[in-house]
Structures are given as structure tokens and as C-alpha cells.
């Protein structure tokens, strides 16, 4: 069956997250609890960069600390040494093999800043560079598409904010019932995507990360060009394309205005978990991508022109 690894790993998510949630909080509290930082630098690529978007909102909203999403080329291409105030640099890489992420962490460590690696791979490059490493511990991910490592990265960032003093509740986590609900919803709404020539994924705030990750999944798994936007930015021009022949996947947003323009609108099911919603919502985006790939005769476990571990410098 096409995408059998991807589906199996999607279905593993409830158990993998539940098994590691407390450990993430405990290990991060031991490593960083009680420390105060003037800013946080998040360093990532690909799906991990989408997870970092969630981390940015969590940190700025619940800790009041400014966050910068690193542009690794500043270091790797231009050789610049950026001067930061007292900083926590967090590198996120599911494989732990990203050389540009490692280079940024190394540069920050040499400047005396605290560094943390979040990765699923023990003894990987990032774990050797950073002061502290949090292993996701969700088992081998065989499919090219990141699924359980992505949701685990979201959970790790949530627990990092709690460890640093953010007043967040113990996270509610998706269960098998939610995975099934997301699948049924995606199956019901898939036709709108497949009938459309222009695709958007839209969200705002915490859901902005989910819009980005869903667009990435639709592109890499199903070869469907999809552009993600904040719903606020979407109003500043791109919505002109949202007419007949287009479809918008919405996370936590109303689609009445887009429907009035002639666009098809797909509303993701809402988990109602507040701050933790992205950990749940993206399961629906994963199902959309997997089902769209199958409908088009594509295998996301063997995606076109890409590989599981991508190394950029």
C-alpha cells in the first residue's frame, strides 16, 4: 500500500507522545529550569522550522522573551558573527545531522550562550555540539515525511516553555479517537483539494505553524503546490487569487469571505485544546497529504527528488 510507513507512523503518534511527555518536561527542567534568558534563538530547517514557528508564539506569549528564527546562511554563507544578549539557542533537527543548524549552535556556544539540541537521533551531530540534548525518543521514522517526529518536536517546545516558567497546563495530547476523526474529515474533504488548481493553507497565531506544515506535506507527499499564509497576511494581496478553481485549507479560521469569492474552503476539525491545538491539528494535515498522494498514485514513503535526511550548509 502506498505510504504504509507514513500511515503507521501517523497512527503511532498518540502512544509516542504520551510515553515521552513527562520525560521531556523533567529533563528540560533539570537542564534549564530556573535560568533566565533575554532572548531565544530557534535554529531549524524544513518541518523543524515549522515547529519552531509554534515555539516562537509559545515563548513570546507565555514567557515574554523575544524570539528570533535564525537564518543559518548568516553564519554559513556570509561568515558573520551576530552579537546576542544572554540567549538560549535551540537547534531542532529530527535527524540531528543538519550541518548549518550545528554551525549556528556552535557559534552561539563559543560566545557563551546556552545551547539545546532537540532531535530524535542519539549521538548525532547536534548532540555533540550543544550543551544539552533532548532526545525525542519516538523510534525510527522510516517514511520520508516527518510525522511523529514533528508532533514530538511541538510537544518538546511546549514542555520547554513550561520548564522555563511558562504558566501552561499539562498538555492534552491527541488519542486514537482523534486520529480516526482527522482521517474521516480528511477523506470527506479531499475532493475539494483534488479539484482545485490553486491551493492555500491558512492559519494564525499558534495555528500558523500548522498551515506551514500542511502546505509542506501536500507538496512533498502529493506533489500539490500549496502556499501557506498567516490569515492576516493573506488579506494583503494573495486573497486576490482565491476565486473559482482555488481551495483554502483553514485552521481555526472562518471561511465565509473566501466562499463568497468562489473559493472552495476546507475547515480542519477543531480539537478545542487551546495552546496545544497544533499538536492535534497537524494530524489532519498529515492525513490530507497521505490521502491526496494515494489518490494521485504517489508513494510518500519514496517521495520524488527528496530524501529522509537533508543536509544544507
Q: What is the pLDDT of residue 133?
A: 97
Supply the mean pLDDT for the chain: 93
What nine digits make up the cell of 197? 488548481
For cell 510537544, the residue is: 155
| 3-class DSSP assignment, residue 181 | helix
- Give me the residues paired with residue 8 across strands: none
Secondary element (H or E) of residue 203: strand 198-203
Residue 120, C-beta contacts closer than 8 angstroms, at least 6 positions apart:
94, 95, 96, 135, 136, 137, 138, 141, 149, 152
What are phi and psi for residue 193, nearest 5 degrees? Answer: -65, -45
Q: What is the pLDDT of residue 80?
A: 83
Q: What is the pLDDT of residue 303?
A: 76
What is the set of domains in the chain, with CATH numbers? 4-163 (3.40.50.10490), 176-297 (3.40.50.10490)
Q: What is the pLDDT of residue 122?
A: 93
Dihedral sign from CA coordinates of 83, 88, 91, 96: positive
CA distances (Å), origin 12, targets 5, 9, 34, 126, 152 = 11, 5, 33, 25, 11
Query: Is the predicted pLDDT of residue 202 greater than 60, yes or no?
Result: yes
| 3-class DSSP assignment, residue 135 | strand
The residue with greater pLDDT, 73 or 105, is 105
Q: What is the pLDDT of residue 305?
A: 64
Neighbours of 217 (CB within 10 A): 30
Tens of pLDDT, residue by residue over 112-135, are 999 999 999 999 999 999 999 999
Q: What is the pLDDT of residue 193?
A: 94
CA distances (Å), origin 162, targets 21, 24, 104, 145, 155 = 12, 10, 25, 28, 11
Tell me the pTM.
0.95
Tens of pLDDT, residue by residue over 120-178, are 999 999 999 999 999 999 999 999 899 999 999 999 999 999 999 999 999 999 999 99
Q: What is the pLDDT of residue 183?
A: 98
Of 98, 283, 93, the closest CA to residue 175 belongs to: 283
Q: What is the pLDDT of residue 309?
A: 55
Residues of the chain above pLDDT 70, percent: 97
Query: Is the predicted pLDDT of residue 209 greater than 60, yes or no?
Result: yes
Q: What is the pLDDT of residue 77?
A: 83
Q: What is the pLDDT of residue 74?
A: 82
- Give me the residues paired with residue 171 across strands: none
Helix-, strand-, coil-residue percentages of the chain, each rounded to 5 = 50, 15, 35
- Is the distance from CB of 44 to CB of 52 less than 8 angstroms? yes
Amino acid at each position: 500500500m502506498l505510504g504504509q510507513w507514513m500511515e503507521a507512523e501517523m497512527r503511532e503518534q498518540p502512544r509516542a507522545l504520551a510515553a515521552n511527555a513527562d520525560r521531556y518536561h523533567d529533563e528540560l527542567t533539570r537542564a534549564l529550569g530556573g535560568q533566565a534568558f533575554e532572548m531565544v534563538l530557534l535554529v531549524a530547517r524544513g518541518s523543524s522550522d515549522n515547529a519552531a514557528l509554534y515555539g516562537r508564539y509559545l515563548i513570546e506569549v507565555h514567557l515574554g522573551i523575544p524570539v528570533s528564527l535564525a537564518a543559518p546562511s548568516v553564519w554559513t554563507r556570509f561568515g558573520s558573527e551576530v552579537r546576542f544578549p544572554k540567549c538560549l539557542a535551540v537547534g531542532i533537527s529530527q535527524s540531528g545531522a543538519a550541518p548549518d543548524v550545528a554551525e549556528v549552535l556552535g557559534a552561539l556556544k563559543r560566545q557563551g550562550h546556552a545551547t539545546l539540541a532537540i532531535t530524535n537521533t542519539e549521538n548525532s551531530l547536534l548532540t555533540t555540539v550543544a550543551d544539552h540534548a533532548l532526545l525525542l525518543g519516538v523510534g525510527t521514522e522510516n517514511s520520508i515525511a516527518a510525522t511523529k517526529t514533528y508532533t514530538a518536536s511541538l510537544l518538546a517546545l511546549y514542555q520547554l516553555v513550561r520548564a522555563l516558567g511558562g504558566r501552561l497546563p499539562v498538555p492534552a495530547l491527541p488519542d486514537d479517537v482523534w486520529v480516526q476523526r482527522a482521517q474521516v474529515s480528511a477523506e470527506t474533504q479531499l475532493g475539494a483539494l483534488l479539484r482545485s488548481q490553486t491551493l492555500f493553507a491558512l492559519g494564525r497565531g499558534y495555528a500558523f505553524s500548522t498551515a506551514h506544515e500542511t502546505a509542506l506535506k501536500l507538496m512533498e507527499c502529493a506533489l500539490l503546490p500549496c502556499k501557506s499564509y498567516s490569515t492576516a497576511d493573506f488579506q494583503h494581496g494573495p486573497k486576490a487569487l482565491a476565486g473559482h478553481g482555488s481551495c483554502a485549507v483553514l485552521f481555526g479560521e472562518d471561511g465565509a469571505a473566501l466562499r463568497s469569492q468562489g473559493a472552495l474552503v476546507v475547515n480542519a476539525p477543531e480539537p478545542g485544546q487551546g495552546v496545544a491545538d497544533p499538536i492535534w491539528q497537524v494530524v489532519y494535515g498529515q492525513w490530507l497529504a497521505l490521502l491526496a498522494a494515494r489518490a494521485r498514485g504517489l508513494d510518500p514513503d519514496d517521495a520524488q527528488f527528496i530524501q529522509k535526511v537533508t543536509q544544507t550548509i
